Amino acid sequence: MPLEALQQLERTIEKRIRLFEQKNGIRLDDEVRFIRSWFERPLSTGAVTPSGRVLARTMARYVNPAIAGPVVELGPGTGPVTEALMAEGIESERLVLVEFNPTFCQLLRARFPGATVVQGDAYGMHRLLAGLLQQPAAAIVSGLPLFTKPVRMRLRLLRDALDLLRPGAPFVQFTYAVVPPIPKKMAGVRADASERIWKNMPPARVWVYRRG
């Protein structure tokens, strides 16, 4: 086949891929990155694909853009929830993204140039974010795969997150599980759940924890 015809074929395939991505609300290159990350670190990646649009939007809608302060995202991965937060009106300059995987960090820096990307372990958020947050956070949104950690670590993560938040501000976490990702009965903490989001693959639920 002549070179020109090959290039034309390549362009047609590219165009069809983009149309498929737009129609289905996914990015195939992100899917590939995610699968690769899952093969390399199944426990910390925690999912085989990035969150779908409906789940990302549901999480972002728990964050009120009118409340002042930084918005912290734990485990943003390739950034579907980050994008949804921005679509809800959170400026990228307010976003602090804490991600373990250096390849995802690189991608996040390129994709969200205004955001602060911190490469590190979200379970050490107090130390990691000390000096970085000039005021209490307006929300903390988490995509961390919590069930790979013991309950006491999850409880400590929630307590640390609530300490960084404004009083009454939300800690938002999604899960594929049927039980809450952090036990509901923590003194002084209210937990609420969304409906199950069947349009996500796998179906998920969003939990919101607040002090007070």
Ligand X SMILES: C[S@@+](CC[C@H](N)C(=O)[O-])C[C@H]1O[C@@H](n2cnc3c(N)ncnc32)[C@H](O)[C@@H]1O
Which residues of this protein are in contact with ligand X, per CB under 6 A? 44-47, 50-51, 74-77, 80-81, 98-101, 104, 121-123, 143-145
Select 45 or 168, whichever has its Cβ closest to ligand X.
45
Select 45 or 58, whichever has its Cβ closest to ligand X.
45
Distance CA 114, CA 92 (A): 5
The nearest distance, CB 188 to ligand X, in angstroms, is: 25
The nearest distance, CB 84 to ligand X, in angstroms, is: 9
Distance CA 176, CA 165 (A): 25
Select 76 or 165, whichever has its Cβ closest to ligand X.
76
The nearest distance, CB 184 to ligand X, in angstroms, is: 21
Neighbouring CB atoms inside 10 A of 118's CB total 17
Q: Which two tokens stand for residue 16?
A: 């069809």
The nearest distance, CB 9 to ligand X, in angstroms, is: 32
Q: Which two tokens stand for residue 204?
A: 């998920």
The nearest distance, CB 25 to ligand X, in angstroms, is: 12
Select 10 or 172, whichever has its Cβ closest to ligand X.
172
Select 7 or 103, whichever has its Cβ closest to ligand X.
103
Nearest C-alpha neighbor of 82 from the set 110, 44, 45:
110
Long-range contacts: 182-191, Cβ < 8 Å, 24+? Answer: 182/146, 182/151, 182/154, 182/155, 182/157, 182/158, 182/207, 182/209, 183/151, 183/155, 186/155, 186/158, 188/212, 189/158, 189/162
The nearest distance, CB 29 to ligand X, in angstroms, is: 14
Pairing type for strands 205-211 and 189-193 reads: antiparallel
Spatial CB neighbours of 141, under 8 Å, sequence gap ≥ 6: 59, 60, 62, 63, 71, 72, 73, 74, 81, 85, 172, 173
Select 144 or 191, whichever has its Cβ closest to ligand X.
144
